Amino acid sequence: MKFASEEILETFKMLHAESLDVRTVTLGIDLMDCTGGSARETAANIGKRIRKIASKFSGTVDEVSNEFGVPVTHKRIAVTPISLLLAGSPTIRAAIRIGRTLDDSAKEVGADLIGGFAALVEKSITRADAVLMDAIPTVLSKTTRVCSCVNVASTRAGINVDAINVMAKKIKETAQLTRDQDGVGCAKLVVFCNAPGDNPFMAGAFHGVEEGEVTVNIGISGPSVIRAAVEGYEGSIDELSDRIKRAAFKMTRAGKLIGEEVAKRLGLKFGIVDTSIAPTTAKGDSIAEVIERMGIERCGAPGTTAAVAMLVDSVKKGGMMACTRVGGLSGTFIPVSEDSKMNLRVKEGTMSIQKLEALTSVCSVGLDMICIPGETDESIIAGMIADEAAIGVANDKATAVRVIPVPGKKAGQTVDFGGLLGKGTVVKLAKWKPTKFLARGGHISRMTGSAKN
């Protein structure tokens, strides 16, 4: 589909007037042929492959961004889940070596973040998976660009409770190893259900084995654009939905334009546009503000879940009309600390942890960038993960948990991570624990509705 000149001019006007940006151009790289005879050789092969493929990536993105006048916030890389490459040398030392190699390679080619220090353990845990999970706290505390995710559940496989218990422990360990930075290592760690292999957003990005050799995936942003579309509009909900769809259409077209041009200049395959609305700390760039402009007095009040559901559906419909290659997560993120208005609603008590969990049944991902007391028991964190996994399995959607147990902080206190990570208010959690239930371990089987071929 070609872009009409009038459409391009209208979209660029929207970009400059309403602060739309392309949140990320993510280069997905397959590493399956990098396994060597030793951990040292595997790490060397990984570094060599990333440098070879991504050597012109950062410069090309900057070139396209400047030429078309479309800001690109981040340049990122996603690689094959590293646990798959550890099978020949499943040791923590090997995993840490590879983690450092990923960090060094990303820095060398100018990528802001690199994802894929990952394991897919929704059904069982191999030796390599176990090693990777054990290495996560050390790797995230010793690197600056590496992001990690672990998929512990899926609609088809069910929920791996053993993996959930391990990851709750690793979240606590990561927070402690980065305590001098308020546990910020946990901001680079997400525990997933139904993790997609073409997600361009961190910390959950990895290059799925079904994705081919190399792809260019795009993640757009744009809460301010959606806010402008709904602000002051007095029409019916049907008409409001149409306005959101039209805005999402234009946002997706802009993302597609940038992604296809970057891929073309690099001689690579264009992957997908993830149409997820991703908030920032900037004024007006807030999902909470969009919901309130839609007519909810305070985000978190009754009706918020319905408003978010309508918003997500409208964004997806508009995106799918604009691009046949819509993928990733595509919906609405609610990363609390990264959304200044959302954090305010949490601080004042309008938005509770229970309401945030309810929203995950309809929005993208799940409990995202939520600060919790540093002393939170591991079993409570495991319970949060299990609950999100259950929502994802039952609704056949991606859900996740990215929580930060802030060392030394209690409910009601605040923490400033800086940059895109923003400021967070430590939320109050229930004191009751699911310890006995989760300590049983084992596997929660898939729901009856998913038992089909």
Taking only the tens of pLDDT, the chain with its 453 residues reads 455 555 555 565 555 555 677 889 999 999 999 988 888 999 999 999 999 999 999 999 999 999 888 888 899 999 999 999 998 889 999 999 999 999 999 999 999 999 999 999 999 999 999 999 999 999 999 999 999 999 999 999 999 999 999 999 999 999 999 999 999 999 999 999 999 999 999 999 999 999 989 999 999 887 888 888 888 889 899 999 999 999 999 888 888 999 999 999 999 999 999 888 888 777 777 899 999 999 999 999 999 999 999 999 999 999 888 888 888 888 788 888 888 888 889 989 899 999 999 999 998 788 989 999 999 999 999 999 999 999 999 999 999 999 999 999 999 998 888 887 888 899 999 889 999 999 999 999 887 765 555
Backbone angles phi, psi at 449, to 5 degrees: -65, -20
CB 52 within 8 A of CB 44: no
Which among 360, 370, 304, 385 is positioned nearest to 338, based on CA atoms? 370
What string of DSSP letters covers 238-275?
A: HHHHHHHHHHHHHHHHHHHHHHHHHHHHHT-EEEEEE-
> How does 8-36 read in b/e, with b if 16+ C-beta sit within 10 Å?
eeebbebbeebbbbbbbbbbbbbbeebbe
Domains and CATH numbers, the chain: 26-193 (3.20.70.20), 217-438 (3.20.70.20)
Give the DSSP letter string of 323-360.
Answer: -S-B-SS-SB--BGGG-HHHHHHHHHTSS-HHHHHHHT
